[in-house]
Homo-oligomer: A and B are copies of this chain.
Amino acid sequence: MNFSCPAPSRSTDRVTLAHGGGGRLTRELVEQIILPAMGQTAERAEGDGADISGAGDRLAFSADGHVISPLFFPGGDIGSLAVFGTTNDLAMCGAQPLHLAMCWILEEGLPMEIVQRIAVSIGESARLCGVEVVTGDTKVVDKGKGDGLYLASSGVGKIELAQTPSPKRIWPGDQVILSGDVGRHSIAVLSVRQGLEFEMTIRSDCAPLANPVLSLIRAGVNIHCLRDLTRGGLATALLEIASASKKGIVFGEKAIPVHPEVEAVCELLGLNPLYAACEGRFICILPATETSRALDILRGNETTRSACVIGEVTEENAGEVRMETVTGIERTLDWLSGEQLPRIC
């Protein structure tokens, strides 16, 4: 005889509030939709957390919220963005990504097919990065209190560098390497928002960066600072490093690779590609003596084959980032005060 069993919901084609209730439907959502789509079994998902023993004693820990709109864009989706975003953050700590946690905040009414597609993407992206989603959570908010779905990912990785890369370690004379062209992610997302995705060829740069970074580390390259370019783009990353290190950074406008189509769209819409978000680019600051070896290694890797030196660290203009423009003038970069493109990641 059954006891306390509210009327069952049969609407499994869309997310309902009951999918967030912690009962049968939550279990079905996780065990029948999310885990199989990620290529995992229910076994691993039992309990309140995951045992991640065996990673050693030197660990990095990182977390990101993802609210990108739309959920799918040329070159990726919110699922690949979450996996690459968090594994890239761990790589920037000089760590090999090992374990991920994924929290889903679903909006009531979201087609279950979307949940499934995103979960497939998470599973594929995780395998590409050699990590597994070992724990997580699933919540549902009422219709009109979300926007389809938000994903919060967090991850743990094993630090492989003797000294954690940090702005505090950069030094005058150090060179700044940029791993590839900037701004693709912003423009790819924008193209969908504006309904231009079929007229444009630009795909997001959304990509995993742990492999090229680990290649540098394992070759023994002396890395002072690593930073991936996300919200706020290259300019913000450089400003954060200059500010935290109390050193100056100078770079050449001409040295920054920007795809002509990205440049054209930015010009049209009054955006600045230097501040445009990337999701698969990073900068690496290191002694000038290490540069040529680092470039060789990075150029041997598909994601970073266009790596180049863009500038260097200076004693003067402490805390500032200066750009030599194409016209030969030197300008001080400022922080982004407003919002170029909301919900880009």
Residues in A lying within 8 Å of B, measured CB to CB: 1-9, 16-18, 20-27, 46-67, 88-90, 92-93, 95, 99, 101-105, 134-142, 144-147, 150, 152, 154-157, 159, 164, 166-167, 227-228, 230-232, 235-236, 240, 244, 272, 274-275, 277, 323, 331-340, 342-343, 345
Q: How far is the CB of A215 from chain B (nearest CB, A)?
A: 19
Q: With A6-B337, A332-B3 in contact, do A277 and B22 touch (Cβ < 8 Å)?
A: yes
Q: Is the CB of A334 within 8 A of B244?
A: no
Q: How far, in Å, is A206 (CB) from chain B's closest CB?
A: 16
Closest CB-CB distance, A320 to chain B, in whole Å? Answer: 11
The chain B residue sitting closest to A4, CB to CB, is B272
What are some 16 contacts across the A-B interface (CB < 8 A)? Answer: A5-B334, A17-B343, A21-B232, A21-B338, A21-B340, A22-B336, A23-B335, A23-B336, A24-B336, A46-B167, A49-B92, A52-B61, A53-B58, A55-B59, A64-B103, A67-B141
A337 touches B8 (CB 8 A): yes
Which B residues are CB-close (under 8 A) to A51?
A: 58-60, 93, 159, 164
Please tell me which one of the listed residues B6, B89, B137, B336 contacts residue A340 in the complex, with CB atoms under 8 A apart: B6
Extra A-B contacts (6), CB below 8 Å, given A21-B342, A50-B61, A65-B139: A49-B62, A49-B93, A51-B58, A61-B156, A63-B136, A103-B154
Pairwise interchain contact B147-A26, C-beta atoms closer than 8 A: no
A236 partner, pick from B8, B22, B159, beta carbons under 8 A: B22
Q: How far is the CB of A183 from chain B (nearest CB, A)?
A: 13
